[in-house]
A and B are shown apart, each in its own frame.
Chain A
């Protein structure tokens, strides 16, 4: 079995070819492949037009690298939710067009489920059933993953995603974007216990995250309440490092506490973690230690599968086996949006 997977939910335009045995024949991510040389050096970070410009060269390169032809494919998979609608639609239209022209079935992939499935790919073993944590710039969600095609959302952030909190606090500290790695580096020189920043919901039953109040608390500590230009703010370097360390500790404490709360309630013994923030060293180490102590099987996606990529779209292999195909008239769905249930 050969499946072409396409990813265009946010900034990256990516494609991969995977086999039924989850072997990756090719994986291309536009921003890493220096495709911008083909576009006169202009690659806007976030723009559906950028996806439009990149999607065909990315697919072409992926097929070439895989050493196959389009006709060899058994199906075409594309991430259709969640994401920015203008970006999602580009990947979806490309996938639909290929399906129509080649007479191949279409598989619609959930981008967040795919982030967890990255652990299945990297571990090379069946990780289901498991509790899944997706923690990234746009999302912080916990799932009960019954099997590779049945994911139950347990809860998520009610305001900022963890990665967003990292980026915004990094911005306040005058660090460059993306803030995660820079903030962690600064935090390594700081005292994580100096400031007692809030840890929302940590002692509550609800599986929820909130990082907005934490961000505000950091702001008060750093710059008070008035209008400030964070880029020109003069702050003692040790204070900065201590704030970074205390902030990072608060985020990690929340993520770890809620995750193990979910694991305990699920009575499962496997935990899978994916998404860009899963690259954070403190989070990885804390999860690893806690999992060891509890005798849990922990899988954290390797760094290259943490950030957006198309390889994790190999979850489509499971959908293919389950006969989960989509009609060519499906639409993409931008948000994790639900109407009020009352």
Chain B
């Protein structure tokens, strides 16, 4: 497991971080976004999904609808939110497998509510509130995955 930390001072820096993450995505992948209420999970998801070519204004919180699907340029994009899902049965009834193991780009907010989801992502990002607009992003990436060099890749071009 590789662990890396990044700090964004404000919204703009968080959006730039999302853009960088999006640039790392070259195929179907599942990314978990975790953090407390108000940490900015949806905001980061917006940054990533917008960078993948979706109109920023059409990316809103999927808390209520559980999943927003976007027809991306090259892949389908699934923006999932497990906040409202109460147990594993519901998770399976929702068809969580289609998102985790599907052939699209999946971003899952509140993934850590369910270990079977959180443990099966290609990247887990923990967002911590460190200031009014400052956020710390802790990235966890399993060994031997395409994101193994995430640190170098994200720092490239700084």
Contact = CB atoms under 8 A, between A and B. Distances in A.
B42 A220 contact: no
A161 B61 contact: yes
Contacts of B55: 338-341
Interface in A38-58: 44-50
16 contacts: A44-B90, A84-B66, A84-B94, A86-B95, A158-B59, A161-B61, A164-B64, A220-B132, A334-B67, A334-B69, A335-B65, A335-B70, A338-B55, A340-B50, A340-B55, A341-B55
Contact of B46 (A10, A83, A138, A159): A159
A82 B60 CA distance: 13
Interface stretch (B24-32, B81-89, B147-155): B81-89
A212 B63 contact: no
Given A158-B46, A160-B63, 9 more contacts: A83-B65, A136-B64, A138-B64, A158-B56, A336-B58, A337-B69, A338-B54, A339-B54, A339-B70
Contact of B37 (A49, A82, A219): A219
A141 to B, nearest CB: 10
Given A84-B67, A228-B36, A159 B43 contact: yes
B90 A160 contact: no
A337 B71 contact: yes
A215 interface: yes
A10 B65 contact: yes
B94 A339 contact: no
B85 A46 contact: yes
B69 A10 contact: no
Given A158-B57, A159-B60, A212 B43 contact: yes
**List of 6 A-B pairs having minimum Cβ-Cβ separation, nearest first:** A138-B64, A47-B93, A216-B38, A219-B38, A137-B64, A225-B129
A336 B84 CA distance: 20
B90 A161 contact: no
Q: What is the size category of the interface that chain A forms with chain B?
A: 35 or more
Interface in A316-342: 334-341
B130 interface: yes
B102 interface: no
A208 B57 CA distance: 9
Contacts of A334: 65, 67-69
A84 B65 contact: yes
A208 B58 CA distance: 11
Contact of B58 (A50, A161, A216, A337): A337
A30 B134 CA distance: 45
A216 B36 CA distance: 10
Interface in A190-214: 208, 212
A36 interface: no
A268 B82 CA distance: 40
A217 to B, nearest CB: 8
A172 interface: yes
A274 interface: no
Contacts of A215: 37-38
Contacts of B130: 225
A286 interface: no
Nearest to B42: A159
A132 interface: no
Contacts of B84: 45-46
A183 B50 CA distance: 33
Contacts of A157: 60-61
Contacts of A171: 37
Contacts of A313: none
A84 to B, nearest CB: 5
Contacts of A136: 64
Contacts of B85: 46
A138 B95 contact: no
A143 B73 CA distance: 28
A10 B64 CA distance: 8
Contact of B65 (A44, A82, A338): A82
Interface in A73-94: 82-86
A151 interface: no
A341 B84 CA distance: 32
